Structure 1
């Protein structure tokens, strides 16, 4: 006797349904790999034919996946039904917060971007910023009523307490102990997940970005700050206290300038954009102006970029030495360091690894803040899958 039951198609913006472990696992395989046959899913997850049939039927009834024809897959050479994530029924909103800008992205279930939005942040106080995010959510949900969850990424330490994502500290936003996901759920009515921004970007790059398909990957971001994310055994490392990846204060020189918190000669004494500007003597200029001066060969600006390049190379070699990843993804709005000071980066990288050769690929990912917002939407997708 069949246990099949008809499931009503989800209404726009419906709550994420309860799914069995096998059904969630099958959906995750499709989301990560894009298009898969039933046989490939069963083989990857070790599911019986009956279990897979039930899982796929549920995914189709809830409009999580759709058939996209047949193809020759596997060693048998026989045509097989192909499945991919659906568009239209389930959408997600991701928001990346900085000290002066808010970036938003609406994606479908597969992480494909459907809409982008950005605006200035005038007040970083928690209540004011929650109100601003709530208004952005209202406007975007009016245009995309299928949004079912919200992901928010912030520069800071984020931990989970009693099911609520709490920003323990964010120096860039001036926050301490802000229960962000709880405040936004109350204000917007959407299930909300919050995360450190580098952790969210690491997960996105591993799932649907430059690190897709690898079991181990490191992410290094350079710009306003220096960030580090890590994937091992296919999972993002988050640490026990929301403080994973604090590589900005690794020492790279003996002595050297003060980084601003009392360290001398650490990564943050040379690599953050504002520090590069300071080291270049740019009293009334920003990072972009220093980069232009360096490109014209102006000695002090060029030296500041070269010192930053040495710090970056030392950081990359330390990452390889400690975690031995398959690849390192390098991104951020400070990427001109890698471009202008490539010789210094490469030399410090090789020097840090001697006597070993680097069996790792460094992938430079062009920087767009919209990708950080997309990463926050993918955070909502991933967390929904755990529900």
Structure 2
């Protein structure tokens, strides 16, 4: 009653501990076993995972210069991808400057919303390697709804085969544009295989089943993705470290000759300040008769000091003919935003998603009933619809009214003959 244990109760508790621990020797072994298991639990994957234990991140695998180069390549590639995504969703798309860092599977689990969609892309021509794009489930629902003609707000439910097929096609177009940009940078053809999209829970998934490089340290490139007012999220791209290094080396090797050529050619004209007089075929004092330095000479009172100034002013003009042959000069091309045909543009966009399956529904009619009437429903109840007998039925595609038709019978199945397309 006073909260104190009697000696008999203490003896009973001690006896119970000896019985469960198997004696003094057993009691001494139990803590050792528990302590042996503790590091495995502490260093393993999060609770509820497949038991995969990620290795520590090796920060020495990439230097700061390599990270900057990889970020620049990713920035140019995603710039092309953003333009392609704009044409698919007809919304302003902004993909910000990337952040490049080394990561492992645990850091991806900690920093990204679950479940999410993994899109795996393999390079087949020009480059050898694999990269993975990770999108949040909500972002995929918004993008696919916009691709199918919606307003981007139909995001209820889970990602299904329809959404995975649509986002795979979108990523195919986006990464195809990125491959074209890489072709320009590397000077060789770059091509990809069709992307494969998968909805993953991540916590219960073994990364080795997704891709082998996810079991160690890999390169993670993070972008800020904005689509109109509908999406303000994060897009993640994962590279194997070896592929990231080869990508940086390939771009640097192919672009190095062009970038170094002007730097080597620039010092050549520098020691030629005195060259204008011989090139123009007249002595230095004769240049004062051209009338060009007349405004400066009376004020200075020293004609000889006016000559170097004029020579320096004329040098850029004289250097340009020497540098022009080594430059690749092309006229700027800009997209026209006026005078376009919206119908033609829509026809071009729809061609990108012709293989995406859509749900077609034929609606015989509708009616409105009070809750009390619905509670009285029983087998045999007749419900009168608002449509008149013989009136055309409505054909809906993904819930949107697109056509009218009449019901027909094809052997043993019902069918609909389209009689009118709703504009």
TM-score bucket (shorter structure): under 0.3
> Which one has the bigger strand percentage?
1
> Which one has the bigger helix percentage?
2
Structure with higher Rg: it is: 2
**TM-score scaled to structure 2, two decimals?**
0.20
